[in-house]
Amino acid sequence: MADIAEALTESPDVSLATIAKEWGRIGILGVGGPPAHITLLRRLCVTKTSWLTDADFEDGIAATNLLPGPASTQLAIYCAWRLRRSAGAIVGGFFFILPGFAAILGLSALFFTRHPPLLVSGAAAGAGSAVAAVAIAAASALLGPSYRRMASRTAPRTRWLCYLVLGATTAALAGEYLVATLAFCGATEVVARHRTIGTRLHDLSPLFVLAGVVAAGGTGALVWESFKVGALSYGGGFVIIPLMQHDVVHVYHWMTNGQFLTAVALGQITPGPVVLTVAAVGYAASRATGALIATVCAFSPSFAFVLVGGPNFERLRSSPLAQAVLSGAGPAAIGGIAGSAIPLGLALTHAWQVVVLSAALIWLVVLRKNIVVGLLLSALAGLILAAAGLPVSR
């Protein structure tokens, strides 16, 4: 622990104004999700300024990947925390999230009005048509690294496959229970690796801190849905789909299936964290106030993890128990992302949307082209087809 404390004190004293400017710039430029965010953060903190060493940055990636919630957002908060501790984390995280929130808020006001213009509805329906393809592409990109994380023996890889299938089945048939599935798979892997847990559970104390935050904060439907995304999701921002779709559409009726598809698409094409999709859901539930509540609740766990657990990230990164939880919940989350493509595909209401989905599958899964470009092309196709007189749900 002394080595960790010494390393932390070596970080340069960067001004909060600099953190606000640089993290805000990354929030504006970071279109494309975690890969873009990690690249920009590394370029700033390691290559350009040497505020952090390459080893510091890699350790941050390793630790935040062990945590539920939006990993690249947690990494951005953690890097700012390394520079100015709590004040840096709050300022850096706020300005990293703010540009995407502003973009989502403005687009939500355009797309989720009571009677949107025909061309707007067409663009929304076109982009929404491609979301199932985005889910499959996102899951396929995560499969390889997750599988390689497992030991080469038959038993661990058999369990990995079981977790994957269980997550996919749950998302396809009963997405509202995916949180329970993630917890079950994580616990199963812990038991499989550590028959006698005993006092070693203290290695996961940062996780228990977050569980307390979630339990204390869930006072309403929107609060719970947002916390569920921010605190209980493994595998990246796209896990929000199976976690939210059933409740948002069928339980609370905040959105139609088509509007939910649009919300997911907006989360992909706007800068900043993909989890900001919750802001669009919050807007549909209660306009700007709902968007703000949803955003605060979704990202509060990420701030809590870093502010409370930052000094223990090294211990968390090396914890066998934390590794076991990730090895169980991670493949289940990937399966959940893939399985969500089924209800997303079934949510399409017009034949031309199936054609757009097929084209998106070729673009994203076969050709492995850029997700944002694919969604924008799908939106353009929807706009053109709506203008040509094809039916569009409004």
In a domain, 260, yes or no: yes
Q: Do 90 and 107 belong to one domain?
A: no
In a domain, 290, yes or no: yes
Stated pTM of the model: 0.83
What confidence tier does 3 reach under pLDDT thresholds 50, 70, 90? Answer: very low
Please report the DSSP string for 130-148 in residue order: THHHHHHHHHHHHHHHHHH
Render pLDDT for 272-312 as a digit per residue (tens, 0 to 9).
888 899 999 999 999 999 999 999 999 999 999 999 888 88
Q: Do 36 and 58 belong to one domain?
A: yes
In a domain, 394, yes or no: no
How far apart CA 137 and CA 32 sit, in angstroms, is 13
The pair of structure tokens assigned to 54 is 């390459």
pLDDT higher for 351 or 63? 351
Residues 74/306, Cβ–Cβ less than 8 Å: yes
Q: Do 54 and 184 belong to one domain?
A: no
Q: Do 193 and 183 belong to one domain?
A: yes
Query: What pLDDT sits at residue 1?
Result: 41
Q: Do 260 and 288 belong to one domain?
A: yes
| End position of a domain, from candidates 347, 371, 389 | 347
pLDDT higher for 100 or 311? 100
Residue 265 pLDDT greater than 80, yes or no: yes
- What type of residue is 239? V
Q: Do 92 and 165 belong to one domain?
A: no
Least confident of 1-15, 166-180, 204-218, 259-273: 204-218
Q: Do 76 and 143 belong to one domain?
A: no
Residues 296/163, Cβ–Cβ less than 8 Å: no
How far apart CA 154 and CA 160 sit, in angstroms, is 10
Query: What pLDDT sits at residue 394?
Result: 63
Q: Do 94 and 179 belong to one domain?
A: no
Q: Do 62 and 172 belong to one domain?
A: no
Render pLDDT for 369-381 as a digit per residue (tens, 0 to 9).
999 999 999 999 9
Residues 126/382, Cβ–Cβ less than 8 Å: yes
In a domain, 168, yes or no: yes
Helix/strand/coil percent split, the chain, to 5: 80, 0, 20
In a domain, 296, yes or no: yes
Q: Do 310 and 220 belong to one domain?
A: yes
Query: What pLDDT sits at residue 347?
Result: 92
Range of the domain at 182: 100-114+138-347
Q: Do 245 and 337 belong to one domain?
A: yes
Query: What pLDDT sits at residue 155?
Result: 86
Q: Do 211 and 329 belong to one domain?
A: yes
Render pLDDT for 27-70 as a digit per residue (tens, 0 to 9).
999 987 888 899 999 999 999 999 999 988 988 888 888 888 88
Total number of domains constituting the chain: 2
Interval 154-175 mean pLDDT:
92
How far apart CA 358 and CA 338 sit, in angstroms, is 16
Q: Chain-centre distance of CA 303, in angstroms?
A: 15
Vertex 321 angle, CA 156 and 215, to 5°:
120
Q: Find the largest Cα–Cα distance for the chain.
A: 69
Radius of gyration from C-alpha coordinates of the chain: 20
